[in-house]
């Protein structure tokens, strides 16, 4: 199988700064080490064309144990699962393969992380990405192509993100030759300029909520 020489896309996130916050810092949003102990438990499946030269689709998921997702706020989740797929026009997610065109252009898709109880931790969507035999990713920091990566933090909605990016790095690559497919395990990283509200801002927001609640109860 012909291996691409293209590097793995590096993931970086950044945040749009509202006027009411004090700072934004570039830092890791979420990351995990390869949860697979061997190639016997692959994370990704790559499908190739009839000449085994170009990738035509990719699917990925982890439903086993052993994936520890480390978040930017020093919180870790154990036995996390994830799936790659797409959202329909009504916002319903379906896990499944993402098409690849021209051998390395990843079509629009989504990545959903869930905790061990099945609750969503984070959702990442993208309009366009890149993939090689070494990994896949998408970035809003590209100078020529905006891939519209978006992170939705299901646990910490008070944080703000922008210029989001992510990347998977493949390892334990197994080529199945005549079957026109290959499998790989993977590690993951993402990063961002993350805006954290000031304590004073948080207090004002809380007071505002109490004031609004008081007005509703009196009306």
pLDDT at 182 over 70: yes
Contact between 30 and 190 under an 8 Å Cβ cutoff? The reply is yes
Distance of CA 28 to the CA centre of its chain: 12
Write the pLDDT tens digit of every residue in 49-77: 999 999 999 999 999 999 999 999 999 99
Cα gap 177→191, rounded to integer Å: 35
- Stretch 195-206: mean pLDDT, rounded? 58
Write the pLDDT tens digit of every residue in 109-153: 999 999 999 999 999 999 999 998 899 888 876 444 457 889 999
Instruction: State the pairing for strand pair 81-87/93-95.
Output: antiparallel
Q: How confident is the model at residue 192 (pLDDT cuts 50, 70, 90)?
A: confident
User: Can you tell me which residue has the tokens 């961002």?
Assistant: 192
Cα gap 109→60, rounded to integer Å: 11
pLDDT at 43 over 60: yes
Cα gap 101→165, rounded to integer Å: 20
Q: Which pTM value belongs to this model?
A: 0.79
**Residues 6+ positions from 113 with CB-CB distance below 8 Å:** 30, 69, 80, 81, 82, 120, 121, 122, 123
Cα gap 122→152, rounded to integer Å: 6
Percent of the chain with pLDDT over 70: 76
Among 10-19, 60-69, 184-193, the minimum mean pLDDT is found in 10-19
**Residues 6+ positions from 65 with CB-CB distance below 8 Å:** 35, 79
User: Can you tell me which residue has the tokens 């004073």?
Assistant: 200
Write the pLDDT tens digit of every residue in 86-99: 999 999 999 999 99
């Amino acid at each position: 199988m012909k291996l691409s020489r293209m590097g793995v896309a590096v993931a970086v996130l950044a945040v749009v700064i509202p006027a009411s916050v004090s700072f934004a810092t570039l830092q890791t949003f979420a990351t995990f080490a390869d949860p697979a102990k061997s190639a016997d438990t692959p994370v990704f499946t790559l499908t190739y064309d009839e000449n085994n030269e170009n990738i035509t689709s990719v699917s990925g998921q982890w439903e086993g144990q052993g994936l520890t997702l480390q978040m930017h706020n020093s919180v870790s989740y154990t036995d996390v699962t994830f799936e790659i797929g797409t959202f329909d026009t009504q916002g319903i997610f379906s896990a499944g393969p993402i098409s690849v065109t021209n051998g390395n252009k990843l079509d629009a898709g989504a990545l959903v992380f869930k905790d061990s109880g099945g609750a969503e931790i984070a959702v990442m969507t993208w309009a366009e990405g890149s993939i090689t035999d070494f990994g896949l990713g998408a970035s809003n920091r590209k100078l020529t192509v905006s891939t519209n990566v978006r992170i939705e933090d299901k646990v910490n909605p008070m944080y703000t993100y922008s210029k989001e990016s992510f990347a998977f790095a493949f390892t334990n690559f197994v080529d199945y030759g005549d079957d026109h497919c290959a499998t790989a395990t993977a590690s993951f990283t993402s990063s961002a300029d993350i805006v954290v509200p000031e304590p004073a801002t948080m207090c004002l927001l809380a007071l505002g909520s109490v004031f609004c609640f008081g007005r509703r109860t009196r009306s």
